Amino acid sequence: MEPGPGRVKDSGKWQKPRFSRKALMKCCLVKWIIASTQPQDKGSFDSTRSSDSDLELSTVRHQPEGLDQLQAQTKFTKKELQSLYRGFKNECPSGLVDEETFKSIYSQFFPQGDATTYAHFLFNAFDKDRNGSIRFEDFVIGLSVLLRGSVTEKLNWAFNLYDINKDGYITKEEMLAIMKSIYDMMGRYTYPCVRDEAPSEHVDKFFQKMDRNRDGVVTIEEFIETCQKDENIMNSMQLFENVI
């Protein structure tokens, strides 16, 4: 290997730099000259570079697992999965739903109120691996629980939704946030008007019902136990059996 210009051999004896092409390439001055004469659009326009990389990110396409695998993981039939995927792909051609898109889609169903906060909680409930986007698998697995799961599974899912920090306990603050977001969806024009204390009153009622040992938090066992005793809740859990 030829020593580059300026490179000192280990022997200590300074060798005259050989003026070969390889050596030339190693010279930093030459490198700089070559770099500056590279196609200008790469060097001078940082904006396009970043926008190119933006483009790269946005065209990342996610392909879902195969139909058979999904069929195994969920309780949907093949036709149902196909129909679900068609709808999903139509709205999100890249195969991923990010939070903003999710919020905008969910808000369309509640034109009178502001559904973004609740959509945020929903998003976190669906996005199991917390990577900021929902893939079709997450979507379909979540739906499978909600529509075809057992009551316990559904209650588990609801608990997971309320437990914002996923620590296994629902605190009053978490419940208040959830309740406020639900009331936000009602909007302004309601009868009777939504008072400011309405969410917290509702939360108090909820805790009164759910929190058996009065320790200020609701655990999963308390939650499931109470819900199973409440006829209304059990009935409403079956409400959306045949949505798909």
Locus of tokens 């990110």 = 57
Residue 183 binds other proteins, judged by CB under 8 A: yes
Token pair recorded at residue 66:
């195969």
Is 208 among the residues that bind other proteins (CB under 8 A)?
no
Residue 187 binds to other proteins (criterion: CB under 8 A): yes
Q: Which listed residue (24, 158, 176, 220) binds other proteins by CB under 8 A?
A: 158
Which of 9, 13, 86, 130 is close enough to bind other proteins by CB under 8 A? 86
Q: Please say which residue, 23 or 147, places its beta carbon nearer to other proteins.
A: 147
Q: Please give the C-alpha separations between residue 184 and each of 15, 111, 162, 199, in angstroms, as whole numbers.
A: 78, 11, 16, 10
In this structure, what token pair is assigned to residue 21?
A: 């092409």
Looking up tokens 């996610």, which residue turns up? Answer: 62
Vertex 125, ends 121 and 131: CA angle to 5°? Answer: 100
Q: Given the complex with other proteins, which of 128 and 202 has the nearer CB atom? A: 202
The number of residues that bind other proteins (CB under 8 A) is 59
**Nearest Cα to 133, choosing from 69, 60, 52?**
60
Give the x/- contact pattern for other proteins in 125-144, rule: CB under 8 A. Answer: x-------------x---x-
From the list 27, 146, 176, 220, which residue makes contact with other proteins (rule: CB under 8 A)? Answer: 146
Distance (Å, rounded) from C-alpha 144 to C-alpha 244? 10
How many CA atoms within 13 Å lie on the side-chain side of 107? 15
- Which DSSP string corresponds to 205-226? HHHHHH-SS-SSEEEHHHHHHH
Which of 26, 186, 200, 220 binds other proteins (CB under 8 A)? It is 186
Residue from 37, 59, 108, 213 touching other proteins (CB under 8 A): that is 108
| Whole-number CA gyration radius for the chain | 29
Which residues pair with residue 169 across a beta bridge?
219
What values do phi and psi take at 169, rounded to 5? -130, 140
State the nearest-atom distance from the C-beta of 40 to other proteins, in Å: 31
Smallest distance from other proteins to CB 107, Å: 10
Q: Quick check: 207 binds other proteins (CB under 8 A)?
A: no
Tokens at 42, concatenated: 């790469």
Q: By the criterion CB under 8 A, which residues form the site for other proteins?
A: 79, 83-84, 86-88, 90-91, 105-106, 108-112, 121-122, 125, 139, 143, 146-147, 154-155, 157-158, 161-162, 178-179, 182-183, 185-195, 198, 202, 205-206, 223, 227, 232-233, 235-237, 239-240, 242-244
